[in-house]
Amino acid sequence: MFQKFNLAIFILIALFQSSCFASTTRTIIDSRGVEVKIPVNIQRVATISDGLVEGIMTVFGVQDKLVAVGSSCIQRNFQYTFPSVDGTEHTYDDGMNPVFYLNPWINNLPCISQSSSPINYEVLVKTNPDVVLARIGSCTLRHIDDENAQKSIEMLESIGIPVIVLYGTTCHEKPSVSGISNEISIIGNVFNNPKKTKELSDYLEAQIQFIKDRTNGIKESDKENTIIFGLSPRARKNGGAGQIFGLDTIESFFIETIANAKNAYRESGYFRTINTEQILKIDPDVIVLCTAYGYHPPKELYNAPYYQNLQDLKAVRNKRIAALPWSPCNCSKRLEYPIDAMVIATASYPDIFKDITLADWLLDFYKNVYGVDNETAKKLRSVQWMDWTLEEIK
């Protein structure tokens, strides 16, 4: 009996000692392939991202661990106004990143960097984060081969805070969205949530595969000529009609690889400014409007006085204009990337997707990704300024 008692005491002491000396850190491999030691119990997170990291944290239900963010674009609402030829103005209010709508308190967090501005390391240190999740490809750390971005990562690491580096969609040799699943996986490892990681990645990938399966059989001769066009006021100020995306961009990847249409702009270049004569010469079948120094709905191209010289475009005459969600600081694609793909696909091939009502599909998307109810999904559709899709139903 005495021996059994001593054995029990010995086991308890051994368990106590092992728990005392158990590792307080674990290792995460980031997008660079670097092994980063992070605390086992993460409570305080700083991000340098335009919404992807914060969106994934929201899906995982750990957004309350945020103590600092690195983009003002996820901390505010926006307004956009444009005139019509009849003298009236169209105003869009309360446009925002879905993350901000779902977590308005984010507005009260310190912002450690504005878009394209240096990181405020002093403010970052004061927030005392357990880990920094930094996405290269965000507007703060825009390019993987940029010397300033690399120096910023080195500076962050020299402070002594663990830094998990993520590679956004612009960091890869060829345009692709497959890397987003890898980013989700890394963040899933950080927060030890394999179940949600798989569910989220599988759902996003399934939406893309659905589009590719639907358009797979389209012959080369039957492909629609589609462009993504930015009705940029900055471009107009400099004498252009707007901005367009070349064959080497991820926007072209959405058009050609996912939607199986043809990018009508056959040159290279990102956000290239083109003039009226050039866009009239391209004369695409379909125009998809994107965020370009402001939000741009279909009715702006139809009704704004400064675009009356484009009314002879085939896409304008045939009312084949669509618009992507409002995405300020959209330097790299975020969780909403299947929306872009679906808008492009349904605009290019309405007959193939005649069973898809885009306004309803959007609600399903927000509900499936963020786990929200129908009313919240409607609000997300509105703050992303996608209610123009309701006009299709009327």
The reply to whether 224 and 120 lie within a common domain is no
How high does pLDDT run on average in the chain? 92
Q: d(Cα 119, Cα 97) in Å, to the nearest integer?
A: 21
DSSP 81: E
**H or E element: which one contains 35?**
strand 35-39
Q: pLDDT exceeding 70 applies to what percent of the chain? A: 93
Q: Does residue 158 lie in a domain region?
A: yes
* Domains of the chain: total: 2
Residue with tokens 């808008």, as numbered in its chain:
343
Residue 301 belongs to what domain range?
218-392
Query: In terms of domains, do 132 and 273 share one?
Result: no
Whether residue 182 is found in the same domain as residue 245 = no
**Which among 282, 295, 310, 290 has a CA at the least distance from the CA of 230?**
290
* Same domain as 50, residue 196: yes
Spatial distance between the Cα atoms of 323 and 311, rounded to a whole number of angstroms: 17
On the question of pLDDT at 11 being above 50, the answer is: no
Q: Count of CB atoms within 10 A of residue 326's CB?
A: 22
Q: 168 and 316: one domain?
A: no
CATH number, domain with residue 326: 3.40.50.1980
pLDDT given for residue 4 in this prediction: 46
Quick: pLDDT tens for 28-54: 999 999 999 999 999 999 999 999 999
Assess whether 55 and 196 both reside in one domain: yes
- The answer to whether the CB of 138 falls within 8 A of the CB of 71 is yes
Contact predicate 49/27, CB 8 Å: no
Mean pLDDT across the stretch 265-281? 96
**How many Å apart are CA 107 and CA 110, to the nearest integer?**
8
Amino acid symbol at 201: S
Asked whether residue 264 falls in the same domain as residue 118, the answer is no
- pTM summary value: 0.92
pLDDT tens-digit map of 349-374: 999 999 999 999 999 999 999 999 99
227 and 173 fall within a common domain: no
**204-219 pLDDT, tens per residue?**
999 999 999 999 999 9
pLDDT value of residue 118: 83
Q: Is residue 62 part of a domain?
A: yes
Q: Are 190 and 324 in contact (CB under 8 A)?
A: no
Q: Is residue 1 situated within a structural domain?
A: no
Residue 19 has pLDDT above 60, yes or no: no
| In a domain? residue 7 | no
- 144 within 8 A of 134, measured Cβ to Cβ: no
Q: Is residue 210 part of a domain?
A: no
The confidence score (pLDDT) of residue 3 equals 46
**Helices marked H in 256-323 — which ranges?**
276-282, 298-303, 314-317
